[in-house]
Copies of this chain bind each other. A is one copy, B any other.
């Protein structure tokens, strides 16, 4: 594994010293900020997440704040999802697309107050895109990136731990909804969300001192719940079919290629930059799209990520892992649409991923994976 040089350009978070003290083994860089990737091992982190409760420093989920009379209009311009359907307390998953229908990012939007939205972003400078549009169109909005450092509390015991800290009110927060909960006199946005399928919450910390107090309290009150440090887990997120912007899709892909059709309201009358391009692609069909690949019994990750069908290259693996639960190699791959059709007529069999000299037979399926 490579060593990472840290400089001011790669920002620490209010929790970095705690993450270090808790034995972080590796980082990635995300929105110019440190994000832990491993504490014990990918596999041990995975089992702990699925059985107990973890506290994650996800400060890298920067909030792009869009505020002003034209805020709604600007956010709607950026996404093909009908924003008028967002409830006031909803965490609203938004593919952001450019005028060609290509992805810019896939944040969670929340309508934080009258004429103000937060976009909790994946890894790209959404602020620059939003501001460019606003300045170019002369919109009456202010685009900024306030200092907010989310903490995620994830795992089957997250409810119990959060109840101990915030009270029973957390039971009233429905999935992908949020409430403002008091924490020592400050109101934190607390949502039932997070980048795992193990259940849990995210707390949008906007005060580093209180945030660290909260972090410590979560560890104190969760000791008997086997609380531990954690981070988005490669195995869990692939098993759960959670896509990663920058890995599974990037500026070159449309949401229609990534299984995000349901977030594109192509038949509705909304003012969105990407609508024409996406409608066109929807009619013509996508050239390639994301699929799941599985090889049960495989216990090594292939070095070469090229995917072949009958010796023809039909795509590439974008993310992969070994699933300890299913004893299988799992991959998320961008594959040629015609090849997918051919393979799916054959129940997903007959694909091989090149492993150097050794070919690996995989089964092809829609994401999320269905395990037998």
Residues of A within 8 A of B (CB): 1-10, 24-30, 32, 34, 37-38, 98-99, 104, 123-138, 145, 244-247, 250-251, 273, 318-319
Contact = CB atoms under 8 A, between A and B. Distances in A.
A246 B2 contact: no
10 shortest interchain CB distances as A-B pairs: A136-B136, A132-B132, A9-B246, A125-B125, A4-B4, A29-B29, A128-B129, A5-B37, A3-B26, A136-B137
A2 B28 contact: no
A247 B38 contact: no
A276 B13 CA distance: 34
A123 B128 CA distance: 13
A74 B4 CA distance: 36
Most buried by B among A1, A25, A135, A246: A135
Given A128-B124, A128-B125, A247-B9, A273 B135 contact: yes
A128 B132 contact: yes
B32 A3 contact: no
Contacts of A246: 7-9, 32
14 contacts: A2-B3, A2-B4, A2-B6, A2-B24, A3-B27, A4-B4, A4-B27, A5-B26, A5-B27, A32-B246, A98-B135, A124-B125, A129-B132, A133-B135
